[in-house]
Chain A
């Protein structure tokens, strides 16, 4: 490549440092968001995988109870009666630190003598002074992860307070498990104790599961035994439904980050288009001097490559920093899916940084290709003529507007024909964005024409010139407006989706939580019939709903069964399917209802049969309908308590909803209920208001990451608008100088410049409203449904719309200030002389 051409190109950018810096920062931010989310997703995903393998070790299969936990006797029988060689009993449960109730930890109760076969201590290696047999011989002892020991400042033989439900229990630390080798991979080792100590801690006589190491024929043999009340599952399939949710969540984040990158792409396109357009005359001269098309193409693509590489490198570094903040948010949300939050972030793979870099540079080159080809393929004399450029731009814009029609149709076909695929949903969304983008330059021209009379009436010739300038410089203004519209629409679309979702969740909670107080327990046999009767007899209590929650293993992963006897205000269900008698039929034990996400994911329709493991073996239940459910528990099955008791032979209750008389002394009733509960400290008391508040706070926490991405996309949009408008105005220096020479005073020049930038900002903001609403509709009715199976309604709240328009207007006004001051202050004569 010719050195002087490179020198000329370099100096072009160095003479416009602000333009270069804004472009680099904008691209970097777009790349950073993508890389940050990708790294955070990977870190979280690997952290969960490592934690799962740490807990499971060499386990190939697990025996889990179909309703309750497993009795100890089964473990004994496996060895003695059924000849299973490798079996290990496990209690896995959660506790909270008494000193910090927000800190959740996993307890793993194991048989230390079996560990060499299963986890083989390859995952958690006992510290050098740890005496394993002591775990068995001394009750109430445990091994703590080394990191937790140092974090809490504990020494050997110190006591640690743990909260089980609401009850504080003490354990004595007799040693450590090393997690140094694991923290780099992201896992935090669990608290290890002997299974008997764990049973005492959780006040249970059963075990959570039995881990097994089986080959295929052993597994078949065990299955053929048809053991009662247990199910043999593949160790890797247990979390299938949660994995699916977590994957959908991460796909959504990746897509949102790609939207931010898309905004960055527009920025690159806008920057390169400006850089080409600003030098059309230079390119024309160069072509006249004999520089051929390939040389010009090479120069412009090299510029893009260098800018892209610098910006991407910066973006990857920023992304690394961003990932550190995002990973906690991702872990929190995916942790909710898994009911675990003891996972530390993993160090992301270096390949992701390389992938981010390649994607950033490739995107830059792809975005720069069109302007570069434009530069290379213009005839020399055309290149010198600005008027010809604008004429051809108008033609291209009109053609682009026509092309947007088939693209929109393609998007509609894609979205209409694919009802399940999330990826096709996203392709449809991106096609809609592409179609809208192609419409915008022509829409900008029409908009400028429409507002011209009003501007002329308000600001005289300055206003008229401002509007005309937009049409006259469509090669600049069209691209800028399109880029900004997409960016602002993204901000609006995500904002509307989140606010609609929040309103739906709030309404769902209000409808579902029909009782005033909810009591729950993890312990067994707390709510006997007599205790429920006593509760009903309290003055001011008008009734109760009683519920049995269990987790059952199925081929699709673990599902929640909610077996209920409704309270005086009914079930509080919002049915999806149009089967008005579904609840009555469920009450008469004709079948079950399934949650909307479960129905969507597994394609379950009313009338279908769903096989479930019961105490009488696998039984098929008729689906009567589906109900709205925004839980992230992987899927819920609702049935009447009597149906459940028939098949599961389980009389226990672990949830009670208490309904209060609105006319009675509420405070007094609550006080009596609290006194009543003093006998059963393991029962958790929560008011409906508290649950609603907590749920919405979890919702806000979950969408914090979306909010962060929205703000970042907004920032990219702001930078894009700012740099684009500033470029347009600064480029008009000569035109402004001519107007000054013709007698326009500085005030009129100020009005001209500011009204033009504001007009472009306003156009972007206004165009972004319909596009943002369309994006929200697609996010709500396509993406969310396909990701999580959640349906909701679009609520058009004004806040996200106003925010988008204000973002565009503020950026445009700020962008207009510098050129305005410059236009007012500069010396007119040299600007007129200088061609």
Chain B
């Protein structure tokens, strides 16, 4: 599965999502270019996470079409969706979601390993990321031996480790103190910018908005582009 060159890396066309009778997203149109930093804002329960799940192929729209890297998601089966996520996506969650039985180094290595990168290369790559994210010395710590900030930095390292095209971050700072949150945001932003990785972040943080290329606001199930 190879990326087809397309300036519009992510396209949502008239996408709707409903859970039963409850409409979460309606008539949603979004275009995101390669390397952009996109922020999605909205109240709790407004549908930010749902939008990220739809883009990441973790959930399916009720109506409409989603094109990612030239692929129409509705044409892909489960296996191909898994393949797409494995190669081109990185995820950062509010509650970190590290694998509790793997060490920090192993958690970072996991996406590389899943993409067939050799053990030696994945260890070297993971160590570089640990250093870059100021986590050196914590290689062999398990998630429950790390602080919240450290866990989230490991999660970011894991999301970046296989050099994905897109990073989806669902309120990555929601569970961190202000100082650590700023630190994590800065890390995500600078690393993605440097690597040309598209970063889509759902957040409540106003500080983030200043860094974004595009801001989408969700209200009453409708998505609107806000000025940056």
Chain A complexes with chain B: yes
- Jot down 10 A-B pairs with beta carbons below 8 A, ordered by A: A4-B109, A4-B110, A4-B113, A8-B106, A281-B97, A286-B99, A288-B56, A289-B158, A290-B111, A291-B86
**A290-B58 in contact given A4-B106, A7-B102, A15-B101 (Cβ < 8 Å):** no
Residue B53 interfacial (CB < 8 Å): yes
- Which residue of A284, A292, A379 contacts B79 across the interface (Cβ within 8 Å)? A292
Shortest distance from the beta carbon of B82 to any chain A beta carbon, whole Å:
4
Residue among B53, B78, B93, B101 facing the most chain A CB atoms (10 A cut-off)? B101
Cβ B111 vs Cβ A292 within 8 A? no
Shortest distance from the beta carbon of A288 to any chain B beta carbon, whole Å:
5
Cβ A291 vs Cβ B82 within 8 A? yes
**1/0 contact string of A272-316 vs chain B (CB within 8 Å):** 000000000110111111111110000000000000000000000
CA distance A288 to B85 in the complex (A): 7
Q: Which residues B26-83 have CB closer than 8 A to chain A? A: 53, 56, 58-59, 78-79, 82-83
Residue A360 interfacial (CB < 8 Å): no
CA distance A585 to B76 in the complex (A): 85
Residue B96 interfacial (CB < 8 Å): yes
- Which residue of A8, A10, A289 contacts B111 across the interface (Cβ within 8 Å)? A289
Residue B153 interfacial (CB < 8 Å): no
Residue A678 interfacial (CB < 8 Å): no
List of A residues within 8 angstroms of B93 by Cβ: 285
- Which residue of B89, B97, B119, B148 contacts A290 across the interface (Cβ within 8 Å)? B89
CA distance A104 to B53 in the complex (A): 79
**A11-B110 in contact given A290-B82, A290-B83, A379-B59 (Cβ < 8 Å):** no
Residue B210 interfacial (CB < 8 Å): no
List of A residues within 8 angstroms of B144 by Cβ: 834
List of B residues within 8 angstroms of A772 by Cβ: none
Cβ B58 vs Cβ A4 within 8 A? no
Shortest distance from the beta carbon of B90 to any chain A beta carbon, whole Å:
8
CA distance A833 to B93 in the complex (A): 16
Cβ B102 vs Cβ A8 within 8 A? yes
Residue among A7, A281, A289, A381 facing the most chain B CB atoms (10 A cut-off)? A289
CA distance A11 to B143 in the complex (A): 13
CA distance A4 to B101 in the complex (A): 10
Residue A150 interfacial (CB < 8 Å): no
What residue of chain A has the Cβ atom nearest to residue B87's Cβ? A290
CA distance A6 to B75 in the complex (A): 31
Cβ A288 vs Cβ B101 within 8 A? no
Seed contacts A12-B101, A290-B115; 7 additional CB < 8 Å A-B pairs: A3-B119, A11-B101, A11-B102, A284-B97, A290-B86, A291-B86, A834-B144
Shortest distance from the beta carbon of A632 to any chain B beta carbon, whole Å:
57
**1/0 contact string of A1-35 vs chain B (CB within 8 Å):** 01110011111100100000000000000000000
For the residues of B in contact with A, the DSSP-based class is: helix
Residue A581 interfacial (CB < 8 Å): no
CA distance A281 to B96 in the complex (A): 11
- Which residue of B78, B97, B101, B115 contacts A292 across the interface (Cβ within 8 Å)? B78
Cβ A289 vs Cβ B119 within 8 A? no
3 closest residue pairs by CB, A with B: A290-B86, A11-B101, A292-B82
Cβ B97 vs Cβ A285 within 8 A? yes
CA distance A12 to B100 in the complex (A): 8
How many residues of A are counted as interface, with CB atoms below 8 angstroms from the partner's CB atoms? 30
Shortest distance from the beta carbon of A298 to any chain B beta carbon, whole Å:
13
Residue B114 interfacial (CB < 8 Å): yes
Residue B91 interfacial (CB < 8 Å): yes
Q: Which residues B119-139 have CB closer than 8 A to chain A? A: 119
Cβ A8 vs Cβ B87 within 8 A? no
List of A residues within 8 angstroms of B113 by Cβ: 2-4
List of B residues within 8 angstroms of A478 by Cβ: none
Shortest distance from the beta carbon of B193 to any chain A beta carbon, whole Å:
23
CA distance A782 to B97 in the complex (A): 55
What residue of chain B has the Cβ atom nearest to residue A281's Cβ? B97
Residue among A4, A289, A290, A294 facing the most chain B CB atoms (10 A cut-off)? A290
Cβ A282 vs Cβ B53 within 8 A? no
CA distance A251 to B155 in the complex (A): 58
Cβ A289 vs Cβ B114 within 8 A? yes
- Which residue of B59, B114, B175 contacts A2 across the interface (Cβ within 8 Å)? B114
Cβ A288 vs Cβ B78 within 8 A? no
List of A residues within 8 angstroms of B83 by Cβ: 290, 292
What residue of chain A has the Cβ atom nearest to residue B82's Cβ? A292
Q: Which residues B198-220 have CB closer than 8 A to chain A? A: none
Shortest distance from the beta carbon of A407 to any chain B beta carbon, whole Å:
32
CA distance A476 to B96 in the complex (A): 25
Shortest distance from the beta carbon of B206 to any chain A beta carbon, whole Å:
25
List of A residues within 8 angstroms of B148 by Cβ: 833
List of B residues within 8 angstroms of A3 by Cβ: 113, 119
Cβ B56 vs Cβ A8 within 8 A? no
List of A residues within 8 angstroms of B87 by Cβ: 290
Shortest distance from the beta carbon of B107 to any chain A beta carbon, whole Å:
9
List of B residues within 8 angstroms of A284 by Cβ: 97
**A293-B79 in contact given A4-B102, A288-B85 (Cβ < 8 Å):** yes
Residue A835 interfacial (CB < 8 Å): yes
Cβ A282 vs Cβ B99 within 8 A? yes
CA distance A293 to B158 in the complex (A): 21
Cβ A285 vs Cβ B99 within 8 A? yes
Shortest distance from the beta carbon of A387 to any chain B beta carbon, whole Å:
13
Residue A380 interfacial (CB < 8 Å): yes
Cβ B106 vs Cβ A7 within 8 A? yes
- Which residue of A7, A11, A12, A293 contacts B78 across the interface (Cβ within 8 Å)? A293
Shortest distance from the beta carbon of A334 to any chain B beta carbon, whole Å:
51
List of B residues within 8 angstroms of A293 by Cβ: 78-79, 82
Residue among B53, B59, B85 facing the most chain A CB atoms (10 A cut-off)? B85
CA distance A290 to B113 in the complex (A): 11
What residue of chain A has the Cβ atom nearest to residue B175's Cβ? A835
List of A residues within 8 angstroms of B85 by Cβ: 288-290
List of A residues within 8 angstroms of B78 by Cβ: 292-293
**1/0 contact string of A340-371 vs chain B (CB within 8 Å):** 00000000000000000000000000000000
CA distance A287 to B93 in the complex (A): 14
